[in-house]
Every structure is written in C-alpha cells, then in structure tokens.
Chain A
Amino acid sequence: MAIIHPKLSGAANLVANYPMPYGAKWANDIRTNAITAFNAQGAPHKRDEYWRYTDPSELTVVPTKPAALFSNDESPMFDLVDCIRIVFVDGIIDTDRSDDLSLIGASIEMLSDVTSTDIHWAKDLYGKLESNGQNPVHRPLAALNTAVAGHGLVIHVTSKCDKPLAINYVHNSETSDVMLHHIIKIDEGAEFTLLESGAGAARFNSVIEVDVSDDAEFHHVRTQGRDHERKTVTHLFGRLGHRSIFRSFTMTMNGILTRNDAVLEFTGDDAKATVAGACAGDGNNFHHDDTVFVTHDSINCESRQVFKKVLRNGATGVFQGKILVKADAQKTDGYQISQGLLLDENSNFLAKPELEIYADDVACSHGSTVGAIDEDALFYLASRGVPRKQAQDMLVLAFLAEAIEEIDNNDLANDIRDRLTAWMEHG
C-alpha cells in the first residue's frame, strides 16, 4: 500500500474542503496555478522549518474545530473614526451593516464581481505578490487562499483618500471556516488607510496584497481580539515603489492561534516600511506568531520591525523576522526588535531574528529580548498607592507602548491604547 505523505494528504483534504470559485478565464487560471503550487508544496506541517515554533494543525485540520462565539458589549473598534465601514459576517459582506462602497480617491469592488469580469486590472495583481512571496520560503496557506477565496475587496486607490476604510470581521457561526482575499493597488502619489478589526470566523484565513506605487502611502492598523477560541492566519504582501511608505500595525489579544505573516519587497529606492505588533496573551491555549520577511532590492530604503508581546499563564509568543538585503540594495537601513515580557514562568517567547546581507554599505540592526516585569518598578508604583494589578497593567502598557508608537496617526494610536487598556481589564 502506498504511504501518502501527510503534507500531501493534508493538502488534498484542504482543497476538498473549500469549494473552488469559478469565474472569468484569467481568474480561473490564477486559481488553478495557485492550487497547483499549493498541492506541490503540501499543507504546512509542524516539522517544517517555517513552522518550527507554531504547530499549524489547527489551521489545516479538516473540518475546522468549532469555536464558541464570543460576545461582549464593547463599542465597535474605530467607532470614533470618520471612515467608510464594511462588515463581513463569517466571510460574507453584510450590506445592511456596511456603508456604500464609495470612497473619494478610490474605487472599491467585490472580489466575486471582479473575478467574473473578463477584463479587469486586477488580473495583473491577483495572486501576483502572493506567488512572488513563495520564494525563498513556501507559504502554502496563502497559496491555498488565492486558489479558493471567493470573497474579498478589490481596491484601486487613485489619489489621497479622504477617509480610511474600516473592515470589521464578525465571527457569528461556531463552525465558520473563512477565506478572504483583498487586493489593493495604490497609484502614484495616492494614499490609503485600511483599518481592520474582529475575529472573522471560527477559522479565518486572510490574504492582502498591496501594491504601493511610487510616492504612494499605505497605512494599516488592525486589531485581532477578544475572541478566545478563534484561529487566524493572515498574510500581508506588500510591494514598495520609489519613495513609497508602508506602515502596518497589529494588536492581538486572545485566540487559540494567530499567525500573521508580513512579506514586503522594496523594488523602488528611498522607500520606508514599518511592520509592528503588540500582543497580550493569557493562558496556555494562546499562541501568537508574527513572521516577517522583508526583502531589500533597491537603494536607500528603510525598514522597521517592532514587535512586543506580553505573555501570562502559559501563553506562547513567537517572532520570526528576516531582513534580506540583496547585493544591489546599498544604503539599506534595516531595524528589527522583538521583545517578550513574561509575567510568569509558564509563558514562553520564542524568537528567530535573521539578517541576510549581500550588499556592503548597509546599516542593519536587530535585537531580541525576553524578560520579566521590573519588580522594583512595581514596588515603586505600589508604594505610591497604586494597587498591584493596576501597577502591573501600567507597566505592561508601557512595555507595549513602543510598538503602538509606530502608528503615526495619533488618534488611531490613542484608540488602540484605550482599547488595549479595556481589554486588559476584561481579559
């Protein structure tokens, strides 16, 4: 009897689990290529080097394990921000709860409409950054997403948008297993801000491909929180043109498993990118993984990776971050910091920072630390009358602040700070 490799049988099970969307020829071709790539790679497995610290089985098991719904009475995220709002419930847009898809400076379409249109600009971007990002490291769950995601947004930004677009992903079914794929094309000199919040589904797989043209800006603030049993895997692919700016920040709390991949490539000179994250994990069923891969292939670009994780009661945080500087990418300034704050001995922070540099005139630095809370600072605060729990929260917030400071919009940063404070109070 033939022994089928678990990666391949896992891939076959996953492919069978999702209906393959059918659309225009170009879309079918892209999806077929993605499925071929995925089948060849196989499903991610805990013995894969790239999944060394994170067991992907929750993301690959078929069918997904149910996740109890999490209800709370908190106000919607970003509710004070003037923006266009779109709500997806278990992966399907809820038009009643969404604003009209009209945003000055951008056109917003549904992926399902776009992929059934014979001629559309999206054919040059859909799956493109994702497939570029498969090298040198395989990202099978992103390939699978390109192949089977039938829904998402297709956004073409032509000038400076007057408002952010805020997407809220609602998890409303205990067994929902959702793939969403957004593509965003930002024209020269245009600016776009994307806000995302919500757990999305019992199992949520999202891919975002962002093409940032010369002199364009992309800003991204995302919260993944307060849904204890959800599983999430996200991939954010970005290409940066000359003098472009790319900034992404994610705050995560709760959730059995979160894997956030960011894959950025500098193709133009003098561009700047930041990927940052703050995460607070509580309990031994919390596992959070940030995996970042930044490729410098142009001159005088700056990249920053800033990740902070607070972990307690057996929670696990992972950071895998790589800066690859190709031979021609002179004057690259690459910075990477990852820090874990462990509130007890049962929690874990695992970091794998990597630099791979082929150019000679570069300034790259990376650092990774793990530590406990500063008892002297705690005592100092307590001696002034601040109760221990509150004092600890203050120090935790202070620790995470450095990542939150990477958000350059003050209102959004304050929103994030307030929400984090509230989340820490409620758990």
Chain B
Amino acid sequence: MLSIKNLQVELEEEDKQILKGIDLEIGEGEVHAIMGPNGSGKSTTSYVLAGKAGYKVTAGSAELYGNDLLDMNPEERAAAGLFLAFQYPVEIPGVGNMTFLRTAVNAQRKARGEDELSAGQFLKIVREKAKSLKIDADMLKRPVNVGFSGGEKKRNEILQMAMLEPKMCVLDETDSGLDVDAMKLVAEGVNALRDGKRSFLVITHYQRLLDHIKPDVVHIMANGRIIKSGGPELALEVEENGYADILAEVA
C-alpha cells in the first residue's frame, strides 16, 4: 500500500538535508509506529508525504497503491486516500468547522467521481462521529480549531479522519497534549477505523498510545534515517531506556 524508497529530502530555502534515505513499506491493514528523538525528521516525513511546500525531494520515491504521491498536489494525494493528522493543527478564523468538513468530504468525493453528500446526509454522519469523539455541537459550529484546546484540536483531527475515510492514515503525535481519557477516545477512534485494509503510520514519543493502538512494526528514526525496526517490544525498550542504547548500537 504505502511504499517509500530511499527518500531523501532537503529544505528548499537552504542547503540542508533533513531526510537521508527513508525506506518504509506498510502493507494493507498494517499499523506502523515511528519513534525517535526530537528533530530526527518524523514530521518532515509526514509533510513530504502530504505535499507541503518548502521541501525538495532529491532522491527516492513514495507510492500509495502504486501511484506516485510525489507527483501529485496535496489535494490529489488526499483524494488518493492519504490523510495526515497534524502535529500542530492550524487555526482558520472565519471558516466554520462544519463548512470545512463538508467541503473537504465533498471535494474528495467529487475528485473520485462519487456523488456529493447532501447537507442532511452529511449532518447525520458527522453528528454520530462527533459524538463518539465527545466533540460537542458548539465545536462543530466554531471556526476551524479557533480557540480549541490542544486536546480538542487533536480530537478534531481524528474527526476529520473519520469523515474522510482515508486508506492511509498518518498520525503525527496525535497523542501529545491529550489527557488520559482523551487518549483513549482518540485510540478508540483510530481502532474503529481499523478494518483490515486501512493502514496507519503513527508517529509518537510515548508507549502509552501504542498500548491502545497495537502496532505491527515499530521504527526508530534518528538523524533523517530509520535506524532500527522491530516489533512492539521496541517501543517498550525506548520507554525504558531512551534512545541512547539504540543510537550507540547502530553507530
């Protein structure tokens, strides 16, 4: 499903290489986790997949179901089934959350040649999904993320994911800033979307989220590379000992 080969990325503005050859294969229905020290390139990987400006791919490829992601603009990648839950969701004053969600859902449906949802159909679905994430009607009415608490923003990301039903979900530190209960809600939201086909790439610093969302594979990223991959036990090891041992091991 998602196939990243030797992905090398520099900043567009300055001559600085951030990703130094990432290889990652995520199969259908799999959950992979990426952990790694601050600044190792985790968010950059997610941005490059989603098509954020400011990065230059100097080598390698990234394909989703055989489609070249790097050749598409961000909205095409979304329509192709890629979703990124942002580490820092953006506030958009003046754009209602509900309007935004409906526009996004229908834009993707249109791009895929499907019928757009009517206002009524949409409302019914969004209410139901918002309820299970404990997002109240007021939050749906407010401008996108404006005045949302950190945790509310993250739950709003998961709501968007649930509405858009992507094939490949990338979650960048969706657990940061969540209280214990919210973490469970988010994990339940994610698990509800696990259907054996949909795949997940979960970027996190903490083992706790992975207790709820059981990963198939855990990768450790450092300095723009994946330096080690393993089973869920790798996350436990990081939780116990930090990165020092692993970094020393590969050095």
Q: Contact residues of A with B, CB < 8 Å?
A: 374-377, 379-388, 390-391, 394-395, 397-399, 401-402
Contacts and interface: CB of A to CB of B under 8 A. Distances in A.
B104 A386 contact: yes
A389 to B, nearest CB: 10
Contacts of A386: 75, 103-104, 107
9 contacts: A376-B90, A381-B104, A382-B75, A383-B86, A385-B79, A385-B111, A390-B103, A394-B99, A398-B92
B92 A385 contact: no
Contacts of B77: 383
B155 to A, nearest CB: 16
Contacts of A374: 90, 92
B78 A382 contact: yes
Nearest to B84: A383
B73 interface: yes
Contacts of B228: none
Interface in B144-173: 144, 160, 164
A402 B99 CA distance: 17
Contacts of B79: 385
Interface string B41-75: 00000000011110000000000000000000111
B119 to A, nearest CB: 15
Nearest to B103: A386
Contact of B95 (A375, A387, A398): A398
Contacts of B89: 380
A402 B94 contact: yes
B148 to A, nearest CB: 13
A375 B47 CA distance: 14
A374 to B, nearest CB: 8
A397 B94 CA distance: 8
Contact of A394 (B78, B95, B105, B164): B95
A387 B84 CA distance: 16
Which A-B residue pairs are the 10 nearest by beta carbons? A398-B94, A385-B78, A382-B74, A385-B108, A384-B104, A380-B90, A401-B94, A385-B107, A398-B95, A382-B75
A383 B78 contact: yes
B94 A380 contact: no
A383 B103 contact: no
B93 interface: yes
A97 to B, nearest CB: 35
A387 B92 contact: no
Given A383-B84, A395-B92, A390 B107 contact: yes
B94 A387 contact: no
B164 A384 contact: yes
B100 interface: yes
Contacts of B95: 394-395, 397-398
Contacts of B83: 383
B73 A377 contact: no
A118 B93 CA distance: 57
Contact of A399 (B50, B53, B90, B94): B94
Given A374-B90, A385-B107, 20 more contacts: A375-B53, A380-B86, A381-B92, A382-B75, A382-B78, A383-B52, A383-B74, A383-B77, A383-B84, A384-B107, A384-B160, A385-B105, A386-B75, A386-B104, A394-B99, A394-B100, A395-B92, A398-B92, A399-B94, A401-B94
A155 to B, nearest CB: 36
**A377, A379, A383, A388 interface centre (most CB from chain B within 10 Å):** A383
Contacts of A391: 75
Contacts of A376: 90
A394 B79 CA distance: 19
A386 to B, nearest CB: 5
Contacts of B108: 384-385
Contacts of A388: 73, 75
A391 B95 CA distance: 10
A402 B89 CA distance: 23
Contacts of B84: 383
Contacts of B90: 374, 376-377, 379-380
A375 B52 CA distance: 10
A402 B108 CA distance: 29
Nearest to A402: B94
A398 B83 CA distance: 24
B73 A382 contact: yes
A237 B104 CA distance: 45
Nearest to A384: B104
Given A376-B90, A401-B94, A381 B100 contact: yes
**B75, B83, B100, B103 interface centre (most CB from chain A within 10 Å):** B75
A382 B164 CA distance: 13
Contact of B164 (A385, A395, A401): A385
Contact of A384 (B52, B78, B93): B78
A382 B103 CA distance: 11
